[in-house]
Structure 1
Amino acid sequence: MFQFRTFLFYAFVVGNLYGVVKSQENMGSVCVLTDAPKQCGAFCLSAQLPFIDHNYKVQRQLKSLSEMLERIEKSALTVQNKSPANLESIQQNALNFQKENQAKLDRIEKEIRESKVYILDRIEKGSQETQTTMEGIQTESQAKMDSILQKAKIISLGFQWIESRYFYIENNAKQSWTNAENTCRKRGGHLAAFDNQKEFDAVIAKLHRNTPYWLGISDRKKEGEFVSESGNRPKILTFAPGEPNNDGGNEDCVDIYNGVMNDLPCDLQRHFICQLDSEV
């Protein structure tokens, strides 16, 4: 700023001096001194008046130029002083704007990631739930199918649901106690015993009157200790009065006749009753 001001000042001075020289050349008068005290007075003073007047004007213009330069310098300093603050403010605003928008972008990106993870998680969980449900349905269906097939097999083997279990009542063929037990095993069960009185009454109601049937009860292993072929102690025993008596020393197997039990030789031929399970 100082060099610019100096340049303007020198340019202005040179221009004005050039103007003074030109003005003196144009006057066309030369002061020849023969008697200086007399001649130099009025003439020389009148010759120098234009220079004095022009110098005064130059001084005024220099002052005006100096004042203008000072104002320009002050304005420049003011702008220079304010510009960094404005620039810093602009930069700060730009930085804040960038941060704000970056934060929004980060938030949007985060929401997109979370949404993607949530959707994928829901899809995966839904697939797992669907697979679990399908497996459950398949298992349940298989169990039902197995049950249906088992029931079909049971029915085809002649078993029927009586009270709370499956029983097979052989009313045609007659066999020894041992053969009857083997026949029941081939059908998937044993010679029958009874779990409770209600079950006993329900089965007896389906037997032919005056017809003996082998049961799965005997004391073949130890005389006087009756057990079922499932290895359990019988819950229902309805021996006739005076029975069991082991008549002849070889009555180890139990039959039922019109609802009454009796011990008899195991090689006798009887109809028989099978149970499907081994619970009793």
Structure 2
Amino acid sequence: MLRLAQFLLSLLVLDLQGSLGDTQDNNRTVCLLNDPPNQCGQFCLTTLQPMTDLISEINAKLNGIQGAQQSIQIKLAAVESGLEDQRTQIDRIPTKEDFESRLNETEAQLMEVKSEMKDQFDLLQIRLEDQSEAPREPSLNETENQLVAVNFEDLLKTGLTEVLTKIQEYQEAAQTKLEGQLQTLETKLQTLLENQRAYFQKTVLETLERVSLSIPPNFEKIGHRYFYIENSTRLDFYSAETRCRQLGGYLAAIQNQEELSALTAKLDKDTKYWLGIKGSEWEFVSVASKATATFLKFAIQEGSDYFDGVYLFNGEMYKPYDLDDLYFICQADNKV
């Protein structure tokens, strides 16, 4: 920057010398420079001051863009890490095929039990039929035994039917339960993927907005605008104003009640914060826009008009009695 200033200073001196030469040729009043560094120094510095300020502002914006790019990279890395973790969790969730395989195994085991019971029942029935076909005359004891066997056969058939019915009911209940669990897992997975997609889209859109609006680093979106809340260093009003400019923003003014409520929710309770509003009870002006403050909410109209500045305390504005060192709030834009 120093070399650029020297170069512009040289051009300005040459231009002045050329202008003086033309003045001599036209028989006009001539002011020769006997000591250009001393005679022209203050004038040149005053002329070059807007360009110096412009260069400083451009450098600040470039630093802000670099910070935003770094923020984009960090957020994208965090999103990718989160998506990778979600993929790992998704891979651990049993698939529909796994549930169907377990259900098929359960059905196979139930069918084996059913088959074994049917074989035992058939074997018992054959034995009973063999006994009933015996050629000899049954005795009284044998007749009683046959009656008992017939009753046992009926009981066995009834019991087997009940067992088969219960097995069928258990099978249907297990299948319904597994299908319900599978549906619940699919719903949770879909919700998880939608939340990840929404978070990623929000992050990308906010990052693009920060870049397009040249939002400085460390400023966060609160409501519809970007702010920086200083909670570690206390400064007086004028130092806080300068610090906000160094950060790439302005000491903050409030746009409306909605914005005041959103900011208050982010601030420490029972703590004072400088705002970018100054003036007297007759007129208050925004530091950023240089226009009349559009929103004011004073608790009690007290304080001293000798001191500039307005501070925010628990959601209400106050005029200071002196220039105490307070925390402060910066805004990224100069529209309010």
What TM-score do you get using the length of structure 1 for normalisation? 0.42
Which structure's residues are more often strand, by fraction? 1
